[in-house]
Amino acid sequence: MYGINQRCIYISFHLFVLWCHAQGENHPSPHFKQYVRTQGAGTDQLSRRQVRVYQLYSRTSGKHVQIHGRRVTATAEDGDVFARLFVETDTFGSRVRIRGAESRRYLCINRKGKLVGKPNGRSRDCIFTEIVLENNYTAFQNAKYEGWYVAFTRKGRPVKASRTRENQREVHFIKRLHTGPPSFPNTDQSKQFEFIRFPAASRAKRNRKSRTFS
């Protein structure tokens, strides 16, 4: 009798495990990409901002993006101070804000589809989604106006964002390191690393003191 009860408990347990497994298959977990897309749609107010420093090389103009006041062009030479950009993360995904290091203005797209520099980059028209393309170029799609991209002509003039597409050469960029002096935020460039050299007499005194204490 005792053996029969043990066998019944064992069979019941296995049936319960199979039932739980079947219930899990009937309710699949949400798609991870959809979850990332949903979470990335809003600004992250809790996480610490990460800042990267680089230049954006335009595939069409062969120059670098620069923010000079309200004017935005892709005519800057390699190492130009106005080509130095601070790229700030907006979410844990790939949404960023792009700010000129020299002009302190943010890259934005107004409702007419024109690229402009604004002193305040909190609005959604100043937020862009980084898209890494199959050809290893990077495109920047505006968060407020979906389907509008940062783009420039061969002469480095901004292209109206409403006329842009992801597969156009005008929206393709390469991220490059800045060749000028160190440009990280809150860095005092006037101070350089120096070795501190003590006179021989000072070293001898310190050695004698350490021996007496030991």
Q: What is the C-alpha separation between 91 and 130, in angstroms, rounded?
A: 12
Report how many domains make up the chain.
1
Q: Is residue 1 part of a domain?
A: no
Domain that holds residue 121: 51-176
Q: Both tokens of residue 65?
A: 């993006």
Q: Is residue 18 part of a domain?
A: no
Radius of gyration of the chain (CA): 29
User: Which H or E element spans position 187?
Assistant: none
Q: Is residue 164 part of a domain?
A: yes
Q: What is the C-alpha separation between 127 and 90, in angstroms, rounded?
A: 8
Total residue length of the chain: 214
CATH of the domain at 120: 2.80.10.50
Q: State the pLDDT at residue 9.
A: 62
Q: How many helices (H) and strands (E) does the chain have?
A: 3, 10
Q: Is residue 181 part of a domain?
A: no
Task: List Cβ neighbours of 185 (8 Å cut-off, separation of 6 or more).
Answer: 51, 53, 86
Q: Both tokens of residue 146?
A: 């979906």
Q: Is residue 19 part of a domain?
A: no
Q: Three-state SS for 119?
A: coil
Beta bridge partner(s), residue 72: 67
Is the separation of the CB atoms in 82 and 68 below 8 Å? Answer: yes
Q: Is residue 166 part of a domain?
A: yes
- Taking only the tens place, the pLDDT of each residue in 146-201 is 999 999 999 999 999 999 999 999 999 999 998 766 544 544 444 444 545 545 55
- Taking only the tens place, the pLDDT of each residue in 88-97 is 998 766 899 9
The amino acid at residue 173 is F
Q: What is the C-alpha separation between 175 and 193, in angstroms, rounded?
A: 29
Distances (CA, A) of 158 to 176, 209, 211: 20, 69, 72
Q: State the pLDDT at residue 94.
A: 83
Q: Three-state SS for 13?
A: helix
Q: State the pLDDT at residue 212.
A: 57
- Taking only the tens place, the pLDDT of each residue in 21-79 is 555 544 445 565 555 555 555 565 555 568 899 999 999 999 999 999 999 999 999 99
Q: Is residue 117 part of a domain?
A: yes
